[in-house]
Amino acid sequence: MTGADTVAPPDVDLVDAALALLADRPLVVLTGAGLSTDSGIPDYRGPGSTARTPMTYQELVSGPAAQQRYWARSHLGWGRMERAEPNAGHRALAALDPTLLITQNVDGLHEAAGSRRLVALHGRIADVVCLGCRATTSRAALHERLEAANPGWGERHAAVESRPDGDVDLDDPALYADFVVPGCGGCGGVLKPDVVFFGENVPKPRVERCYAAVDALASSGGALLVAGSSLTVMSGFRFVRHAVKAGTPVVIINRGLTRGDDLATLKLDVGCSAFLGALAAGAGFPRSTGEV
């Protein structure tokens, strides 16, 4: 299910209240995977999603077998994710140009839509880092190396289901037992997407910049808007708690329950694209089309 699906009409008064609360205020916006579902990228915990446990950093560095499993699946997923385009929600946020856009997503779609003041909290999957020499290269270049080392791999597994963050449903080890994983072109070391895995910490400078932007809302009469995140992961939820502690209004737009529902000034179970489009345009919410 995506933010554009037809469901029961939202509470009209609640939607109007949220739009009025956010209008003409300084905003910090925190986005999650639900913002990218309208671009065809599955989320982790939204309606219709299946609970998955991503590979942890500790698993990835445990040895060649785990690295083979990760890159075999990620190679297929990247070929799909790189074709994704920004949706109306991404474009609306670029037009809103908040004080700071904090995204937990690694897909790069906010940047592609034109957002300028942005912190990619968990990094970008379009970059690859060597765990040995720390050299950074492009994922596109690695994709070409993986294709050359594994000819026909994508065609043989074209029917596998996509998962969040460029992963795919390829769990049987027999299916990737022959997958070849190249090392760093410079030192031969282990390669990893330049994203924050479970088990890693978000780099401190990113966190400090986000906290500073949330702090500034309290003195400027601003608000924190959460769009498309269940806030299950502490890396994003901490900014909600920080804003609430400072007395800053918090509005959450998300399909389904979130960890921050009890803290929010207003919580709306509506589609991100439609709501953000209305906010950016200073217009009413599109109720007549059923796009909620």
Our answer to whether residue 122 is catalytic in this structure is yes
Catalytic residue from among 90, 110, 122, 242: 122
Burial class (CB in 10 A: 0-12, 13-18, 19+), 71: buried
Q: Which residues contact 112 (CB under 8 A, 6 or more apart)?
A: 85, 86, 90
Residue 12 CA from chain centroid, whole number: 28
Phi, psi of 195 (to 5 degrees): -130, 160
CA torsion angle 217 220 226 227 (round to 10): -140
Residue 240 and residue 30 in contact, taking contact as beta carbons nearer than 8 Å? yes
Sheet (strand 136-138) strand order: 136-138, 123-130, 191-195
Question: In sequence order, what are the beta bridge partners of 206?
Answer: none
User: What distance in Å separates the CA atoms of residue 192 and residue 13, rounded to the nearest whole number?
Assistant: 47
Sheet (strand 266-268) strand order: 118-120, 100-103, 27-31, 223-227, 250-253, 266-268
Residue 71 and residue 146 in contact, taking contact as beta carbons nearer than 8 Å? yes
CA torsion angle 54 56 60 66 (round to 10): -50
**Which of 118, 125, 111 lies closest to 163, judged by CA?**
125
Residues with active-site annotation: 122
